[in-house]
Amino acid sequence: MYRNYRDITSLIPQSPTWFDEKRVPRYCDFHPDQAANIYAKRAALLLITCQSCGHPFKVCVTAATNQETVRLGKSLADELQDGTLDYGDPPNIGCCSPGPSMNSIPRRVLEYWVRTPKMPVEGEWYRDETIEGTYVPALTEEWQKRMYRGESDADPAPPKSGQEPD
């Protein structure tokens, strides 16, 4: 469960535009330079929903801060496409009483960014639109059990994705 930033959100009349990896509300247009992780080489803006009430959130995830990416040895793009991404708890805005302590449901890749390698200019970001708009399959119950118990994956195949939600 993450902190509720009511001290910030109560002072600003509009809703946050997106939330960074620490679930801090952001009010600017999304760009990976605004991510909490300044060392990120890949970043995505996702649409997720609260598992309890379905409230939508736009959130940032970076490869270097996603522990499941590190544990599974996959790229962020792979996890977004095969349904193994586990974003975790949604931002705590008080959308419903159980929501902040429940897992979120990834829905769609809104933007995907990659930092350029050393040549020609290190550190510049470019959008990789090949996976943008992709529906992110929900994690299957069995896949979630294996992740949270920390078991190794006997079958490295990702879970089968279901139908796209309405």
Spatial distance between the Cα atoms of 124 and 147, rounded to a whole number of angstroms:
33
CA 16 to chain centre: 16
8 A C-beta contact, residue 14 and residue 27? yes
* pLDDT of residue 145 exceeding 60: no
pLDDT band at 136 (very low <50, low <70, confident <90, very high): low
CA 97 to chain centre: 22
Q: Detail the DSSP E strand segments found in 65-118.
A: 104-115
Name residues whose C-beta falls within 8 Å of residue 15's C-beta, 6 or more positions apart in sequence: 9
pLDDT band at 101 (very low <50, low <70, confident <90, very high): confident
Spatial distance between the Cα atoms of 106 and 138, rounded to a whole number of angstroms:
7
pLDDT, average across residues 129-143: 70
pLDDT tens for each residue of 54-98: 899 999 998 755 555 555 677 888 888 877 788 888 999 988 887
Flag whether the pTM goes above 0.85.
no
* pLDDT of residue 144 exceeding 70: no
pLDDT given at position 131: 85
